[in-house]
Amino acid sequence: MRKIALEEHFFTPELADYSSSTKAIASTRAWAEASRRLADFTEKRLPDMDAAGLDVQVLSLTAPGLQAEPDAKVATAKATAVNDFLAGIIAEHPTRFSGFCALALQDPGKAADELERGVTQLGLCGALVNAHTQGVYLDDPGLSVVWECAEALDVPLYLHPANGVDKSHVFSGHPELEGPMWSWGVDTATHALRLVFGGVFDRYPNAKLLLGHMGEGLPYVLWRLDSRWDFHNRHGIELQLEYPSHYLRRNLFVTTSGAVSSAPLLCSILALGADHILFATDYPFESISKACEFIANAPLSEADREKICFRNAESLLNVKPVHP
Ligand code: GRE
Ligand code: ZN
């Protein structure tokens, strides 16, 4: 079955240094191997894809990417360069690669312009942002211009984890809990809820948020969010839709990245519906072949498997259903 994967990372040697914070949490050997694959497209990546039966990778700049650049001008210039680079890779392998824009949200107006250029001129199919940008989250009113642009272009915004701004006391003495194993998911789920309660989806009802890792736990907690929202008398917040789950069911799309397990997959389908679940592998941090084997054998109807493997991606990303 055709497979399009949505959380597939790369970097350029020039941008590799931004990942030093990530390097610290990964074991040196694992990171060295991942680094080789992040910078490669044809020697390892395409053969890995072929061996596993993966048709298309939608590429994105690995965490934390441009979000880690303190200087807005530098970040903006690097965004243009890396998106041009990405478009070049896609042009060389148009049936195998697609891509998400990297955005320098340090300058929101320029980031919106770059999103428009990326989609309309470079053929990219949305944007991927790695967590906060210098402490600013995506519900910041200053970033409305980016949501407005994404909604007008009808492209999704993929929120990928990275290290949080600060360390919560609950992690003290337990550095193993910081990073992709645990804290990234908590940070990213919280970030997504800021968008709901910050009214982003009231202002941009057709905005589409993508989360990896089977929704970072959110599909599991929909009922409790709604129940405690009422218990706390909605904290005096007025949202247009009645419950938090209404936004998550409407505006949230989740990918299977880094979650090769039927329990969260079935939970996500029950919570959000199969139309909101998309395949991803989290290459090179996870195995493409394990992810492909998992989705091929997961306990799904063939109609749902097709949606998750490629049909939802074709419609969400406006990818033409070309089947080479
Ligand atoms: C990920 O994307 O899941 C990831 C990184 C960096 C290190 C480990 C990891 O981006 O899982
Ligand atoms: Zn990832």
Write down the mean pLDDT value for the chain.
95
CA of 64 to the centre of ligand 1 (A): 9
* Residue 235 clears pLDDT 90, i.e. is over it: no
Q: List pLDDT tens digits, range 150-191.
A: 999 999 999 999 999 998 999 999 999 999 999 999 999 999
Which pLDDT band, with edges at 50, 70 and 90, does 322 fall under? Answer: low
Q: pLDDT at position 17, please? A: 86
pLDDT at 324 over 50: no
Q: Per-residue confidence at 234, pLDDT binned at 50, 70, 90?
A: confident
> Which residue's CA is the nearest one to ligand 1's atom 10?
63
Structure tokens at 49: 């894809």
Residue that the structure tokens 């997959």 belong to: 265
User: Quick check: CB of 282 below 6 Å from ligand 1?
Assistant: yes
Angle at alpha carbon of residue 20, lines to 61 and 282, rounded to 5°: 40
Query: Residue 313 and residue 308: Cα distance in Å, rounded?
Result: 8
Which ligand is in closest contact with the Cα of 280?
2
- pLDDT score for 115: 98
- Provide the 10 A C-beta neighbour count for residue 318: 15
Point out the ligand 1 atom lying closest to the alpha carbon of residue 25: 7
**pLDDT for residue 292:** 98
Nearest atom (ligand 1) to Cα of 184: 3
Ligand 1 contact, 285 CB (< 6 A): yes
Check pocket membership of 22 for ligand 1, CB cut-off 6 A. yes
Mean pLDDT calculated for residue range 67-96: 97
Q: Is the CB of 317 under 6 A from ligand 1?
A: no
The confidence band for 29, taking pLDDT boundaries of 50, 70 and 90, is confident
**pLDDT tens-digit readout, 59-75:** 999 999 999 999 999 99
Going from the C-alpha of 2 to that of each of 25, 126, 243, 298, 313, the distances in angstroms are 34, 21, 36, 15, 11
| Average pLDDT rounded to a whole number, residues 13-24 | 81
Calculate what percentage of the chain has a pLDDT beyond 70: 98
Instruction: Let me know if 140 is a catalytic residue.
Output: no
Residue located via tokens 């992040």? 38
Q: Is the pLDDT of residue 41 over 60?
A: yes
Find the mean pLDDT for residues 73-85. Answer: 98
Closest ligand to C-alpha of residue 27 is 1
DSSP code for 309: I
The CB of 21 under 6 Å from ligand 1? The reply is: no
Q: Which of 139, 187, 282, 304 is catalytic?
A: 282
Residue 319: what pLDDT? 79
Whether 28 has a pLDDT exceeding 80, the answer reads no
- Taking the CA of residue 62 as reference, the ligand 1 atom at the shortest distance is 10
Task: Read off the pLDDT band of 233 (50, 70, 90).
Answer: confident
